[in-house]
Structure 1
């Protein structure tokens, strides 16, 4: 019975953490929003213990900040933070590409092995691209995270995959307030998922590099647009006002 109780509590802890993460990604829990363990426990009708554990889990992931006296609040990322996330993601992904594409063209056997694993990833890619092109942010976030997570399993390194997944969640947490409130922001929704899958399917190192470089460049251009006066230099996080000029489609 003790073991079953531990499993139940662990599952509840994860469910609460997932639910709160979804609330942040959906923009319903805005950056800077404060709350207590008691408030969340009452909201979900559960005891304080799994809620406290879930909140500390999200704090460890960089999504929340804890204050001994005031409870928790949603972390506020700056444009500088965002740029650092993109830089970290770029460096790790460069290493991944070098590892899995050591030559310009993979062998037929290597390509065949990738193709067997890419069918579900290809479906995620198509759905993510469709959501991005349609400006459906809620659907895009879910498919985008699943796409990269499933693609990352091809690496066979759970630590790298977990690190990249955490970065992607943080990038979305930063991005959501802008994408929901800034005019023309949907133009910045990247939709190159199918092109990346196609390049991997062909085992084409150069094509994979072009798509991934475009992905990261796209992200940094958006940071420049957010802070046009001093791109990459400000540590302020300008609040979206909806009055900014619309960017040109990348």
Structure 2
């Protein structure tokens, strides 16, 4: 297993605290006795009865969700950097051992990635990283343009220039990330910039769909030489500032051209 994957072994799960049994209820006869015995049995099993308020969920559930989220982030980073190789099959137990956690949160994270189209389930083996080609990238670029270009054109005519100026620090973050040459660092900064830009439209559903498409577009193509990454990232980052300038000035033609080129250039 590639040693570049992040280790989240410091997130162990606490044991569930044992709950005391309820006091014994004296046996009664007849229908009342049946009801009482049924209620007592439910309490022993840990089921709620009508006479007691529901208990809050144990903290361990929250922590488990946190572990699963950390594993999901680590796997997404590994996909972006190519550490999880397209076409290769990875099992949850092996990845769990690498991360220092059980197979369960890894399997749950992988199932989420399967829903996103990053991996596919291989019965009795694990999960295979999907091979992506230039056609899929072109299709994603087309869909992103159809979705986002009209929104950005509307923003150019309705949002004050000062609002776009507030996003310049995020554009500068993408430039620094591109200069580092780290695909995972750039991917995160790039998503943050585009998410903040689209957030000006005030449409939560748009943000969710655009985020999913954006993340898919960031997975590397099969056989892409690593030496090309930094040049592509630098060119991509430079367009963020140009796009903000075009939006602030209300230059609709420039906005449309920049966004279309921005989505299509990652090849």
TM-score strictly above 0.5:
yes
Structure 2 vs 1, CA of residues 18 and 137 (structure 1 numbering), >3 Å: closer, same or farther?
Answer: closer
2:95 partner SS: helix
Task: Identify if the C-alpha distance between structure 1 residues 153 and 186 changes in structure 2 by more than 3 Å, giving closer, same or farther.
Answer: same
Q: Distance in 2 between matches of 1:133 and 1:47?
A: 37
Shift in Å, 1:134: 6.6
Q: Report the secondary structure of 1:178's partner residue.
A: coil
2:61 alignment counterpart: 6
Which residue of structure 2 aligns with residue 188 of structure 1?
Answer: 232
Q: How many Å apart are 1:127 and its aligned residue?
A: 2.8
Matched, 1:127 2:173: yes
1:84 and 1:166 map into 2 onto residues whose CA distance is: 14
Task: Measure how far apart 1:39 and its partner are.
Answer: 0.9
Count of residue pairs the alignment pairs up: 209
Find the partner of 2:76 among 21, 40, 43: 21
The residue that corresponds to 2:34 in the other structure is none
Query: Partners of 1:17 and 1:185 in 2: how far apart?
Result: 23
In 2, the alpha carbon distance for the partners of 1:46 and 1:217 equals 39
CA contact (8 A) 2:86 2:222 kept: no
For residue 117 of structure 1, report the CA deviation from its aligned partner: 6.5
Of the three residues 58, 64, 73, the one matched with 2:119 is 64
- Computing the radius of gyration from Cα coordinates, the structure with the larger value is 2
Specify the SS of the correspondent of 2:124: coil
C-alpha contact (below 8 Å) 1:76/1:174 kept by paired residues: no
Q: Which runs of 5+ in 2 are unaligned?
A: 1-55
Which fold has the larger relative contact order, with Cα–Cα distance below 8 Å and residues 6 or more apart in sequence?
1
Given candidates 199, 211, 214, the residue that maps to 2:261 is 214
Cα pair 1:64 1:73 within 8 Å, conserved: yes
Contact kept? 1:66, 1:73, Cα under 8 Å: yes
CA gap 1:160/1:6 in 2 versus in 1, 3 angstroms:
same
State the Cα deviation string for residues 134-189 of structure 1 (Å, max 9, x = none).
755444223212211222222222222222222222222134851515xx554433
> 2:147 maps to what in 1?
92
Q: TM-score, normalised by structure 2?
A: 0.69
**Separation in structure 2 between the aligned mates of residue 40 and residue 217 of structure 1, nearest angstrom:** 34
Contact 1:65 1:75 in 2 (8 A): yes
Q: Residues of 2 paired with 1:59 and 1:34: CA distance?
A: 13
